Amino acid sequence: MNEKLGRVHEKFGLSQGDIDYLRAWPIGKVRYGAVYSAVEAAYLAAGASLEARNLVAIKASWGDRVVAWPLWSVSRSKPFVLAFRWDKEWRPTGWLAEDTRFFTSQFSAGRFAHDEKPWVWAGFAALALDHSWLENGVSLLDGRFRTSFGFVADFGKQPQSGLVPDEAED
């Protein structure tokens, strides 16, 4: 983990404290998404959160829940996604940080029908991960990062307490 954190710190400027802060943000809803990987779940989670104006987790078919933060590193001028995974009992199982290009190259929204909710989330994800939306987004973590999640501004500097999310699934 320390080795991976070192790479993430060098590449995006994230510290363990930043990761802990974002992981503690309250999750408003859990929504099911027929996804094949954590990358797809993170992509849909970013879009579902942007659409809902609240942090949303995508529940994968294998039971894990995934939350994603689209971020812009101000010091490194890089857009990336930080995603967190939890198991069925909401125990953290890991996180990943990748350039937004990795997420957009790995995901195909075309496999969803236009009347499916994941297709809508994928459309919002394209906006959430857009470089200009991120670069001009809401300041976060003492101005070192920006996010396309406008709802972050409503909560000030600290996330609301508690990680236990509302289990209402759509």
pLDDT tens digit sequence for 59-96: 998 899 999 999 999 999 999 999 999 999 999 999 99
The set of residues, in sequence order, having a beta carbon less than 8 Å from that of 145 and lying 6+ positions away, is: 13, 18, 71, 72, 73, 74, 139
**pTM score, two decimals?**
0.87
Give the chain's end-to-end CA distance (angstroms, integer): 34
The predicted pLDDT at position 169 comes to 53
What whole-number percentage of the chain has pLDDT above 70?
Answer: 86
Answer yes or no: are the C-beta atoms of 127 and 137 closer than 8 Å.
no
The predicted pLDDT at position 112 comes to 73
The set of residues, in sequence order, having a beta carbon less than 8 Å from that of 110 and lying 6+ positions away, is: none
**Closest-CA residue to 83 (of 40, 121, 32):** 40
The predicted pLDDT at position 167 comes to 52
State the CB neighbour count (10 A cutoff) for residue 37: 12
- The yes-or-no verdict on residue 166 having pLDDT over 50 is no
Rounded to an integer, the average pLDDT of 138-157 is: 87
Q: How far is CA 75 from CA 5, 24, 144, in A?
A: 17, 24, 7
- Could you state, in order of their start, the residue ranges of all structural domains in the chain? 2-154
**Closest-CA residue to 38 (of 68, 78, 5):** 68
Answer yes or no: are the C-beta atoms of 129 and 137 closer than 8 Å.
no
Residue-wise pLDDT for 17-69, tens only, equals: 999 999 999 999 999 988 888 899 999 999 999 999 999 999 998 899 999 99
